[in-house]
Structures are given as C-alpha cells and as structure tokens.
Amino acid sequence: MRKPRIAIFTGNYNHIRDGVSNTLNRLVAHLEKRGYSMLVFGPWSPEPVMQHEGTFVPVYAFAAPGRSEYRITMGFPSTEKQRLRDFNPDLIHIATPDMLGYRALRFAMKHDIPVVSSYHTRFSSYLKYYGLGYLERPLWKYLHWFYRNCRHLYVPSPSAIQELRMEGVACELKLWTRGVDTSLFNPGQRDDAWRRSLGFSDEDLVVTFVSRLVWEKNLEMVEKTFKSIRKTNPKVRTMVVGDGPAKEVLSKNLPDTVFTGYLGGRDLARAYASGDVFFFPSDTESFGNVTLEAMSSGLPAVVAKAAGNVSLVENGVNGFLADATDLDSFTRSLTEIINSSELRNKMASMSRKRAQSYEWERILDQLISYYEEIIMVASE
C-alpha cells in the first residue's frame, strides 16, 4: 500500500527558529523517513533563518507591524491552492489557526478532506502583552468553531487538555507531547572552561533563562527576579541564552547578567548543562520545550505554574512551580535551591530521570498512529 499524503499548514516553518518550527521540521523529517509524502505550506520570508525539512510551499506574507520577525499571511492564493489540489492530500494538518489555516480548513471542508490540528501556543495569553485582552472572548469563539471542524486536536500535555476542555473546545483531544534528544542534552555537556570564559568562577551558582527574547515570554519577571536573587547570595550569577527584539532593552536593564545570544545544537546543550538552576516564568507556552531540555541537562527548574510546565515539573521534586506574576515565590524557590547543594543535586537527578521518558521517535510514531486512525476511517 502507498503511504498517505499529508499536507501541513503552519504560521512558521523556517522564518523563526522556535519550538513550533523545530517540532514541525522534526515531524516532517520523521514522516518522510517512514515513507510518507509531505507538503508544507507556510509564510514566505525574504531571509529564512533555518534550513527546512521536506518540500516547502511559501505563501506570500508581510512583516507584522512593529514586529518584523513575524510574517502574516492574508489568504491562500490560487497558485498555492493548485499545488494542494495537485498533491491531493489524504489528510490536512493545520498547526496554526491563522488566516492561512482558516483558508486551508475551508478548502478541506469543501473537498471533504479530513483535517486535524495541533495546539502549540496559548494564543489568548499573548493578548495581555499587547493590550488586547478585550479580544480574548472573540478569539475563543473563533477557536471553538475552528477546532470543532477538526477530527483531532493534538495537545502537548494533560494540563493543556484539561484547560481546553474547561474552555469548552468540542473536538476529540489527543495527547501528543514533545520530545527531547537526551543524548545531546545531558549533564555531561557541562564545561567549566566555557563558564570561565564568560566570567563565571567555579564557585558561582548560575541561574539560566533560555528563550526567544520577546516580551510575551514574561521578560519583565525575568528582570525583576534576576535583580532580586542577586541580593540573596553573593555567589549567584545570571545568564540569558537567546536572541530577539527585546534583547537590547533587557541587557541594558540587566548589566550584570551574561547574554550569550542565540545558541543551537551542542552549543545550546553546553549552555544548559553549564548552569546550575533553570528559570522560566513564561506562561504562554502550551508545552515547555526549553524546560524539558533543561531537565534533560540535569537542572532543577523553577517555572511558571502554567499548562506548558505543570506536566514536566513536580513541585518540590525536580523544581518548583509559581504563579507567573509572583515575584516573591520565584525568588524564594530559586533561593531555596541555590542555598542547598543537597536539594540542588537531588532535584537535578530527578529532572534528568523524568526527561528520559520523553523520547522523540516514540512520540512522533504516536502521531502517525493518530493520522492512520483518521485516514482509515475516511477511506471506509
């Protein structure tokens, strides 16, 4: 039997390197390895930042006002639509419910093609960072309609599933978690010489934040917390790994923090493992990819109590959870770990152990089984 043809629609595939683009590129590579025919539609960018996997069909997009790194598609042009007709997919996977995703869903409904979607971003939580909180209910109304017309919605954590059910999303929710390369992200990547090259001493206790530097990652809390914990112990140092439009302001406000810029691959793995505690106060993720990478690298994690983290961090076991707005709780949690080498080592061991259950190949094969379930029903 021929393998199915799968078309994927996404708001980001190669113009921003983030959790969504990395996950989808990994998925496409895995499916093609398994013999599937793949076609990916996403925003065109004049300067892609990553080499994409598979066959990518760029759809015209323009830079978002004030945020030029984001690309916005306003439709599904006839040329690209004909590429989809010629491809004749057995299944359409829409990763982003934007205008391109909306047009793809309409196309699928018109041509009786089964559609699935995946939940990568807590879109409603982004609105507060742009003064658009009043749009939350209209957005959920649209998302209710969008997901109701999908056969499956793939959700990365049990806590996110619970959140969507409480919100009243009415389609079949399937758990599709994320994985980590435990052979790459591991405690053995720690490099004391690299630490010293950044100005850290061997006695320093380094609190690490890893993210794209955009304000919706709760960077104001990063700034406040880093300033707060520096006062608790003279050996505490802070490090930010990542790049983005907020870097200039954040680095100016945190002159004693080491900023490494963007790191990837083995360099990123070394940065994680060379820290002592991981800190991530963002509550906008549906899954904490960076939290899982830090755990795999053997770090205790102090993170926001949000859907993207609560399935990874067990409070008091491999780290601590705190409300995303609670500076005192973040400071207390980090200070407790910093001041106790016994607690730090215990939590580090538990983080590594928990991360080892998130193996990429098994997780991607799980999604294939979901695809096949839909395609089999559609062919009957």
Annotated domain spans of the chain = 5-179+359-379, 187-355
Cβ(140)–Cβ(124) below 8 Å: yes
Tell me the sheet residues that pair with 41.
Answer: 9, 57
- Any bridge partners for residue 173, and if so which? 153
- Does pLDDT of 128 surpass 70? no
Higher pLDDT, 156 or 149: 149
Cα–Cα distance for residue pair 188/369, rounded to 1 Å: 34
Q: What is the C-alpha separation between 192 and 106, in angstroms, rounded?
A: 55
CB burial string 262-271: b at 16+ within 10 A, e below: ebeeeebbbb
| Predicted pLDDT of residue 39 | 98
Give me the sheet containing 258-261, strands edge to edge: 258-261, 236-241, 205-210, 277-280, 301-304, 319-322
Rounded mean pLDDT of 155-183?
91
| CB contact at 8 A, 59 and 45 | no
- Mean local confidence (pLDDT), 320-332: 96
CATH superfamily of 5-179+359-379: Glycogen Phosphorylase B; (3.40.50.2000)
Residue 81 tokens read as: 């639509």
Q: In the prediction, which pLDDT does 4 show?
A: 92
The helix or strand, by DSSP H or E, that contains position 277, with its residue range, turns out to be: strand 277-280
Residue 354: HSE in the Cβ half-sphere, 13 Å Cα cutoff? 24
> What's residue 64's pLDDT?
83
d(CA 182, CA 356): 6
For residue 185, the model assigns a pLDDT of: 97
- Average pLDDT value for residue range 265-279: 97
pLDDT of residue 369: 96
Question: Which whole number is the average pLDDT over 255-269?
Answer: 96
Quick one: pLDDT at residue 1?
A: 61
Same fold? 5-179+359-379, 187-355: yes
CA of residue 53 relative to chain centroid, distance: 18
Closest to 276 (Cα-Cα) out of 327, 222, 200: 200
Amino acid letter, 116:
V
pLDDT at 305 over 70: yes
DSSP 4: P
What top-level class would CATH report for the domain 187-355?
alpha beta
Q: Which has the closest alpha carbon to 360: 29, 12, 4, 10?
A: 29
| Angstrom distance (rounded) from CA 93 to CA 372 | 13
Sheet arrangement for strand 37-43: 56-59, 37-43, 5-9, 91-94, 115-118, 152-155, 172-175
Average pLDDT value for residue range 270-275: 98
Query: For strand 5-9 and strand 277-280, is the pairing parallel, antiparallel, or unpaired?
Result: unpaired
Q: Look at residue 204 and tell me whether its pLDDT is greater than 90.
A: yes
